Amino acid sequence: MSDINVKAQSISLYSRQLKLPTFCDYENTIRQLNTKMSYEDFLLELLRVECDQRQENNRKRRIKAAKYPYIKTLDEFDTNRLKHVKEPFVYELAGCDYIDKHQNIVMIGNPGTGKTHLAISLGLKACTCGYSVRFYTAASLATELVEASEYKRLTKLEKQLARVDLLILDELSYLSFNRHQSDLLFKVISDRSEKGSVIITTNLEFSRWTELFDNPTMVAALVDRITFRSHVLNMNGDSYRRDSTSI
């Protein structure tokens, strides 16, 4: 075996042991460097590539952990269709400052106006910026909470949800919740007050949330916690889906 192969294998071995996988691709880095660059430049470039790759891998892990139903980006969102929300404000939200401030976003509008698309897009931006995100429909979270309660895993699930920087609760509109489900959802949202951000999408004005929950007193407290330190977006407008079927 030649000295070159021995050195290559040694580099590969040390790279794995030190958990620096991109160092194995050092030959590609060498080819891209200017011949006048120093050893320090070479080492700096290797470290930069390793850092960039780790950031990308972490971003992918955060996106996978968020469990989005599908991927929708902000570039794909037609902000011109928003009649009541200004485009600069959407991109301001994409900067994720609201997460640092533990603020919430509530999107209220008729079906098909892009609420879920925008919620997922903002969630992806949060993943890119290094925040942990978890996506649920309201119905799926209620079901998971009830199942966790039945199997004595509720405390563990609540702690997991509390650690997430951004909780996305989609489609708080279509299904009503019994008293047990209402209490569990209320506790999850209440526990995040001034500690973590929530994005909620709904077709119903706050005054109609009593159609979802059977406890008016709890609804009042829930709305109070959600709207405190929050951005309420009026998403009413023309339906994307209706327009696409008419083409």
Q: Tell me the residue type at 71.
A: I
Does the domain at residues 74-246 carry the CATH identifier 3.50.50.60? no
Predicted model pTM: 0.89
Question: Residue 238 has what pLDDT?
Answer: 86
CATH 3.40.50.300 boundaries in the chain: 74-246
User: Do 231 and 105 touch, CB atoms closer than 8 A?
Assistant: yes
- CB proximity list for 120: less than 8 A, separation 6 or greater: 68, 69, 70, 71, 72, 135, 168
Contact, 202 vs 172, CB < 8 A? yes
Q: Please enumerate in sequence order all residues whose Cβ is within 8 A of that of 134, keeping only pairs 6 or more positions apart, or say none.
A: 65, 66, 67, 161, 164, 166, 167, 168
Enter the DSSP assignment of 34. Answer: -
SS3 177: strand
- Cβ within 8 Å of residue 152, ≥6 positions away: none
Q: Which of 140, 212, 214 is nearest to 175 (CA)?
A: 212
Answer for the pair 105, 138: CB distance below 8 angstroms, yes or no: no
Distances (CA, A) of 74 to 60, 90, 118, 137: 17, 9, 7, 20
Give one word for 171, left, alpha or beta, with left for phi > 0 and alpha for psi -120 to 50: left
The whole-number pLDDT of residue 246 equals: 39
Identify the pLDDT of residue 1.
54
| 10-residue stretch averages of pLDDT, the chain, 247 residues long | 75 83 81 78 87 95 98 94 94 98 97 96 98 98 97 97 97 92 95 95 95 90 92 91 50
Longest dimension (CA), the chain: 79
Residue owning tokens 């919430």: 104
Q: How much is the pLDDT for 23? A: 83
Amino acid 2: pLDDT: 64
Q: What number of helices (H) and strands (E) belong to the chain?
A: 11, 5
Q: What is the predicted pLDDT for the residue at 210?
A: 93
